[in-house]
């Protein structure tokens, strides 16, 4: 730990619980690399105390926060201003404090798209199919639409997919049962469900009918290679791992709080991944 000066910039991540978060490790790596007079700390905040805590941090000289489960919707509500990314996602994952005011944005969709590009996948290449209809699905579907491609969503509970389509005009709903047979019409398929996570069943997605040009992305990053990504790689398809989204979504916050543009590179990936495989 560096010794902080009285001018140190302080940011952190709030969740409940927050102990599982990799964000302190990730931002800590960049702080050390750039020898910044600053710190990034975990802030476990109970849901019932969330608004008071944010108001308190806003007037305590904090630079800003990342927001994780279960606070992303509450953060949206507490912000004095939110940008278009937060409005489209309906949730806030990044807060910047300025003059006691709370400004919110959502970098999840941006991080997803940046990670696609880092894997050589151009999101504008063709239609995208999003599997799942939770908060991550909404942020990703919105970001893909903003790239100008048609986006479809398929979810086990169709009502949640239909509700998502109401919030994102232009989004098509595909029956969950057709997720595999429809793959021929897509350039990209992304798993935003919790399936494939360590301790969960794998996502059941038959890639037999997938075109050779299909890119397969997963937002699950523990394990680093999910059964879905392994199956894609075995078929020679481009596989886009979830860890990169976590790394890229952190970039805009770090830049805003500490004034340095941090790089997402192999050294960072290895450092964060080492903690996942330990």
Active site residues: 72
Say whether 214 sits in a helix, a strand or coil. coil
Angle at 212 between CA 211 and CA 215, to 5 degrees: 85
Distance CA 164, CA 64 (A): 29
Residue 246 C-beta: closest distance to ligand ATR, Å: 13
**CA quadruple 260, 87, 190, 213: dihedral positive or negative?**
negative
Residue 33 C-beta: closest distance to ligand ATR, Å: 30
* Using rule CB under 6 A, residue 217 touches ligand ATR: no
Residue 72 C-beta: closest distance to ligand ATR, Å: 8
Q: Which residue, 134 or 209, has its beta carbon nearer to ligand ATR? A: 134
Q: Where are the alpha helices (DSSP H) in the chain?
A: 23-33, 50-58, 72-78, 84-89, 108-118, 135-146, 158-167, 227-234, 243-249, 251-258, 266-277
User: Residues 6 or more apart from 205 whose CB is under 8 A from it?
Assistant: 131, 179, 180, 189, 191, 228, 231
Residue 108 C-beta: closest distance to ligand ATR, Å: 9
Q: Would you say 248 and 110 are in contact if contact means Cβ atoms under 8 Å apart?
A: yes
Distance CA 18, CA 39 (A): 16
Q: Which residue, 221 or 258, has its beta carbon nearer to ligand ATR? A: 221
Binding residue for ligand ATR (CB under 6 A) from 23, 155, 226, 249?
155
Distance CA 145, CA 23 (A): 27
Binding residue for ligand ATR (CB under 6 A) from 60, 157, 167, 172?
157
Quick note: the x/- pattern for ligand ATR over 166-205, rule CB under 6 A, is --------------------------xxxx----------
Which H or E run includes 102?
A: strand 101-105
Size of the site for ligand ATR (CB under 6 A): 14
**Which positions from 123 through 152 interact with ligand ATR, judged by CB under 6 A?**
132-137
Q: Which residue, 157 or 178, has its beta carbon nearer to ligand ATR? A: 157
Q: Which residue, 38 or 132, has its beta carbon nearer to ligand ATR? A: 132
Q: Which residue, 105 or 192, has its beta carbon nearer to ligand ATR? A: 192
* Using rule CB under 6 A, residue 156 touches ligand ATR: yes
* Using rule CB under 6 A, residue 26 touches ligand ATR: no
Contact footprint for ligand ATR (CB under 6 A): 132-137, 155-157, 160, 192-195
């Amino acid at each position: 730990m560096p010794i902080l000066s009285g001018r140190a910039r302080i940011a952190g991540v709030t969740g409940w619980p927050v102990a599982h978060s990799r964000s302190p490790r990730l931002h800590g790596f960049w702080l050390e690399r750039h020898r910044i007079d600053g710190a990034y700390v975990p802030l476990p905040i109970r849901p019932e105390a969330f608004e008071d805590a944010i108001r308190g941090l806003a007037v305590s000289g904090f630079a800003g926060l990342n927001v994780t489960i279960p606070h992303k919707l509450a953060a949206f509500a507490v912000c004095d201003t939110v940008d278009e990314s937060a409005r489209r996602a309906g949730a806030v994952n990044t807060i910047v404090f300025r003059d006691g005011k709370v400004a919110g944005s959502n970098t999840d969709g941006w991080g997803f798209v940046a990670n696609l590009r880092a894997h050589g996948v151009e999101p504008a290449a063709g239609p995208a199919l999003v599997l799942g209809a939770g908060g991550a699905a909404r942020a990703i579907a919105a970001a893909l639409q903003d790239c100008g491609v048609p986006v479809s969503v398929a979810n086990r509970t169709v009502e949640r997919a239909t509700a998502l389509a109401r919030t994102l005009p232009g989004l098509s709903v595909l029956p969950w049962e057709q997720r595999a047979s429809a793959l021929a019409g897509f350039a990209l398929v992304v798993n935003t469900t919790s399936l494939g996570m360590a301790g969960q069943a794998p996502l059941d997605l038959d890639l037999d009918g997938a075109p050779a040009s299909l890119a397969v992305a997963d937002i699950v990053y523990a394990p680093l290679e999910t059964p879905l990504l392994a199956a894609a790689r075995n078929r020679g398809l481009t596989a886009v791992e979830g860890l990169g989204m976590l790394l890229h979504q952190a970039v805009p916050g770090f830049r805003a709080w500490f004034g340095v543009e941090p790089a997402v590179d192999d050294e960072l990936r290895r450092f964060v991944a080492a903690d996942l495989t330990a």
